[in-house]
């Protein structure tokens, strides 16, 4: 089939500092506001090509390849997503789509890839639809739109479209905040956080025990939900202060509280899930002891899985890599880790 247009975007994953966990009624409306660092080295690269349609008719024509191989499971997921947004993207009706996607990080590393994958896809679609139309949006509006559609694919993906740091979810703390899309936050970031480091320690690369869709829905019956949502509001307000002033101690205390709360919520849900592994707990112990002994600002956060995200300023990288080699590598699955840092956001690949 003749290729009529194509675009390629690289979009990163992100790591939440204040976590999104639980939805309000509506489509992907978060129960509380969240904020995240955009990553640099963990990204998806997605090429969307528009082809002449094979058949006239209403069906969306899609072929999806992951790492060069046809992937039916992803293709079906994507078709469902496209069905839900087709009224906003006439190109989905007018062309056949060929999509190739890859991840920079191993697929089976236990690192959530939906944020990078869905943001790369949403930006590519917005880009192509804009090229086909005659209205060019401002960069700000373009990214709001990309964030909006990334959110419909995967909530946390809304936050992957901006450099350095991004906030999502309506809150009186942040002017211009929205449940519909994330907003950039880099203007409010102290210099020390602009080069912040994130070493991802792979405790286990096994498939997640529970999908985030199920995880979010368990919050509906969680007895601590109301308290949690109030805590998230308070933590957001406080961490924003720490991010502005460069208060590493306050920043670290909140990120660790958020990580532990996320896991505690899963443990006390019905049914209950334990998403940490014994190595996760051993690593947490060693990180806290190391911090106590050295007074270095090395803190951790967790996603909804067993892997540790170690967060620290660039100027202590040397000491931290010594500590990681001496005490943490042995607790990682086959010694695996990914060195990452706060990143520059999505990029169009020429």
Question: What does the binding site for ligand PMV look like in residue numbers (CB under 6 A)?
Answer: 16, 19-21, 34, 112, 114, 154-156, 212, 262, 303-304
Identify which of residues 303 and 333 has a Cβ nearer to ligand PMV in the complex.
303
Please, are residues 344 and 4 in contact by the beta-carbon 8 Å criterion?
A: no
Cβ nearer to ligand PMV, comparing 154 with 198: 154
**CB of residue 161 vs ligand PMV: minimum separation in angstroms?**
14
Rounded least distance, CB 326 to ligand PMV, Å: 30
Closer CB to ligand PMV, 34 or 269, in the complex: 34
Residue 213, Cβ density class (10 Å: 0-12 exposed, 13-18 middle, ≥19 buried)? exposed
- Nearest CB to ligand PMV, comparing residues 151 and 291: 151
CA-based nearest residue to 92, from 45, 144, 48, 143: 48
Q: How far is the CB of 237 from ligand PMV (least distance, A)?
A: 17
Q: Which is nearer to ligand PMV, 96 or 153 (CB)?
A: 153
Return the number of the residue (34 or 205) whose C-beta is nearest ligand PMV: 34
Rounded to whole angstroms, the Cα distance separating 290 from 326 reads 11
Q: Between 124 and 307, whose beta carbon lies closer to ligand PMV?
A: 307
Spell out the alpha helix ranges (H) of the chain.
Answer: 72-85, 91-94, 114-132, 139-153, 191-194, 212-218, 225-245, 248-267, 278-294, 317-323
Return the residue matching tokens 């700000």. 140
CB of 193 to ligand PMV, least distance (A): 18
Q: Measure the CA–CA gap between 54 and 284, rounded to whole angstroms.
A: 54
Residue 120 C-beta: closest distance to ligand PMV, Å:
14
Residue (of 340, 7, 302, 3) closest to 146 by Cα position: 7
Per-residue burial over 60-96, b if 16 or more Cβ lie within 10 Å, else e, is: bbeebbbeeeebeeebebbbebbeeeeeebebbeebb
Which of 297, 303, 252 has its CA nearest to residue 276?
Answer: 303
Q: Nearest 5°: CA angle at 190, between 349 and 243? A: 100
In angstroms, give the least distance from the CB of 159 to ligand PMV: 7
The residue to which tokens 């009224």 are assigned: 87
Contacts of 63 (CB under 8 A, 6+ apart): 70, 75, 96, 97, 98, 99
In the complex, the smallest distance separating the C-beta of residue 289 from ligand PMV, rounded to whole angstroms, is: 26
Closest separation between CB of residue 173 and ligand PMV, Å? 16
Choose between 8 and 46: whose C-beta lies nearer to ligand PMV. Answer: 46
Contact assessment for residue 213 and residue 178, using Cβ atoms and an 8 Å cutoff: no
Q: Would you say 114 or 255 has its CB closer to ligand PMV? A: 114
Q: How far is the CB of 320 from ligand PMV (least distance, A)?
A: 24
Tokens at 60, concatenated:
């969306």
């Amino acid at each position: 089939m003749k290729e009529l247009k194509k675009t390629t975007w690289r979009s990163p994953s992100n790591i939440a500092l204040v976590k999104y966990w639980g939805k309000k009624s509506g489509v992907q409306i978060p129960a509380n506001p969240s904020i995240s660092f955009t990553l640099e080295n963990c990204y998806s690269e997605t090429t969307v090509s528009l082809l002449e349609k094979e058949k006239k008719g209403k069906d969306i024509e899609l072929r999806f390849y992951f790492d060069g191989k046809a992937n039916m499971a992803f293709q079906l997921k994507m078709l469902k997503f496209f069905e839900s947004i087709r009224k906003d993207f006439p190109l989905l009706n007018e062309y056949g789509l060929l999509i190739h996607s890859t991840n920079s990080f191993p697929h089976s590393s236990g690192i959530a890839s939906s944020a990078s994958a869905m943001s790369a896809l949403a930006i590519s679609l917005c880009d192509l639809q804009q090229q086909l139309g005659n209205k060019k949006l401002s960069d700000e509006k373009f990214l709001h739109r990309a964030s909006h559609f990334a959110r419909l694919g995967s909530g946390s993906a809304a936050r992957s479209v901006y450099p350095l740091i991004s906030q999502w979810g309506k809150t009186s703390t942040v002017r211009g905040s929205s449940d519909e899309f994330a907003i950039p936050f880099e203007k409010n970031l102290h210099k020390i956080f602009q080069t912040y480091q994130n070493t991802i320690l792979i405790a286990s690369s096994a498939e997640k025990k529970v999908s985030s869709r199920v995880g979010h829905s368990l919050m509906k019956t969680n007895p601590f939900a109301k308290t949690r949502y109030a805590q998230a509001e308070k933590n957001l307000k406080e961490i924003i202060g720490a991010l502005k002033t460069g208060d590493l101690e306050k920043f670290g205390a909140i990120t660790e509280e958020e990580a532990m709360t996320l896991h505690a919520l899963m443990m006390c849900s019905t049914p209950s899930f334990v998403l940490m592994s014994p190595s996760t707990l051993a690593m947490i112990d060693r990180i806290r002891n190391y911090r106590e002994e050295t007074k270095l600002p090395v803190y951790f956060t967790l996603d909804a899985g067993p892997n540790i995200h170690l967060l620290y300023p660039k100027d202590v990288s040397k000491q931290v890599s010594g500590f990681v080699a001496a005490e943490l590598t042995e607790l990682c699955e086959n010694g695996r880790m990914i060195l990452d840092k706060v990143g520059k956001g999505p990029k169009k690949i020429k």
